[in-house]
Structure 1
Amino acid sequence: MQSVRKSLWIVLAVSFLAGACTNEEQNVAPTDDNEALTTATLSLTNTANAQDVVTATIENLNTTPDVSKATLNLKANATYSGAIQLYDKTQTPTLNATEEIREKANEHLFVYTPSTSSLLTMTITDKDTNPAPGPYPIGLTFSLKAGPAATGSLKVQLRHQPNAKNGTTTPGTDDLNVDFPVVIL
């Protein structure tokens, strides 16, 4: 009787350990989720006057966006060099998502779309390292040419395109999709 109990305990222990090993060794496919973003900031410097710097920020991207500091006040017909910074303020410390996007540049594309073609002309100035037919634009840095006096908006999208980036906006999903108000004087 005692040997039956001992055998039963051994069977139970082995079953338990085998089950535990199975759970620990379970392979989970990695995911390449979209970026978690709470803040987007555009910084522009007038190429004719380095003292003329324009900064616009949209906060709370993951809830109700705060656009109180989002207006781009530009000079008519001026050219600006620009950059975008993205943050996830739900992390402690705040995560600079721009660095992560730079590291994964081959999977990301910024798309800048003015509300009218006469409002702004945008040229992306940075490229990824995708092989031919790449490299493709990234959009962390850009050149912006303001048109004549007008108002409108600049839509900024960050397209997440893992294993699909081809230099167009079509593949992937949006990590970011916001509108910055534009006032040109």
Structure 2
Amino acid sequence: MQSIRKSLWAVLAVSLLVGACTKDEQNVAPTDDNEAITTAILSLTNTANTQEIVTATIENLNTTPDFTKATLNLKANATYSGGIQLYDKTQVPTLDATLEIREKANEHLFVYTPSTSSLLTVTVTDKDTNPAPGPYPLGLTFTLKAGTAATGKLKVQLRHQPNAKDGTATPGTDDLNVDFPVVIGQ
């Protein structure tokens, strides 16, 4: 009987230790994870002709990207007002990641980089609410000035910069890094 009690106490002690270890593992400090993005949509409106709307979409960014609807077909020397929308279609219902980025504007920065400087000029038009020396650019909205007839690419990066945003692309990691093909016609 004595040996059974000792065995029960030993089992109880081990159970408590295992439970304590599991509890400690669950108390890890939360992290500020990158956004999950499966779909990126650029929408542009010609400022001289608001009936001309250009949309480019890249799907399946989490697996094998689909570029079949990704080309930006622009008019030479035209100026466009633009915006970007991001979604996570792995969620049910689909998660509009754009809303979360807007809510966490002080942690995000969109960087738009044309393959050559003569192809496009992109100017971010919205800002976050970071205190001085901010506010800093955000990039959910922008203007885009097309150059002369040419082809190239527009790299779109969403930089995730919690506690590090300084208005430059350097700090942080990429939530999104994708190239949209660009065709500028006459």
TM-score (norm 1): 0.90
For residue 7 of structure 1, report the CA deviation from its aligned partner: 8.0
Corresponding residue number in structure 1 for 2:22: 23
- Supply the distance in 1 between the matched residues of 2:117 and 2:14 (Cα, whole angstroms): 68
Counterpart residue type for residue 150 of structure 2:
A
1:53 aligns with 2:53: yes
* 1-structure distance, mates of 2:30, 2:16: 26
Rounded to whole Å, the distance in 2 between the matches of 1:118 and 1:11 is: 75
Gaps of 5+ in 1: none
Corresponding residue number in structure 1 for 2:159: 159
Note the aligned Cα RMSD (angstroms). Answer: 1.9
**Counterpart position of 1:180:** 180
* Partner in structure 1 of residue 103 of structure 2: 103
Question: Which stretch has the larger CA shift, 21-30 or 46-55?
Answer: 21-30
Change in 2 beyond 3 A, CA 1:20/1:168: same
- Structure 2: distance between partners of 1:7 and 1:155: 68
Deviation at 1:107, TM superposition (A): 0.9
Distance 2:63 2:27 in 1: 34
- Number of equivalenced pairs: 184
Query: CA offset at residue 8 of structure 1?
Result: 6.7
Find runs of 4+ consecutive structure 1 residues off by over 4 angstroms: 4-15
Q: Residues 16-45 of structure 1, C-alpha deviation per residue, up to 9 Å, x if partnerless?
A: 457535633652111112111111000001
State the one-letter code of the partner of 1:77.
Answer: N
* CA offsets 1:124-143 (integer angstroms, 9 cap, x no match): 01101111111100101101
TM superposition shift of 1:122: 0.6
Question: Which residue does the alignment assign to 1:112?
Answer: 112
Aligned-residue sequence identity (percent) comes to 78
CA distance in 2, matches of 1:65, 1:12: 53
1:83 matched to which residue of 2? 83
CA separation in 2, counterparts of 1:171 and 1:120? 25
AA aligned opposite 1:148? T
Instruction: Note the C-alpha offset of 1:48.
Output: 1.4
Counterpart for residue 136 of structure 1: 136
* Equivalent position of 2:71 in the other structure: 71
For 2:8 and 2:63, locate their aligned partners in 1 and report how far apart those are by CA, in whole Å: 54
Whole-angstrom distance in 2 between the partners of 1:169 and 1:153? 19
Residue type at the aligned position of 1:23: T
Q: Secondary structure at the match of 1:28?
A: coil
Aligned partner of residue 36 in structure 2, secondary structure: coil
Name whichever of 5-14 and 166-175 sits farther off.
5-14
C-alpha separation in 2, matches of 1:100 and 1:182: 28
Of the structure 1 ranges 10-19 and 27-36, higher mean CA displacement relative to structure 2 is found in 10-19
**Which residue in the other structure is 1:123 paired with?**
123
One-letter code aligned to 2:40: A
How far, CA to CA, are the matches of 2:45 and 2:112 in structure 1?
17
TM-score normalised by the chain length of structure 2: 0.89
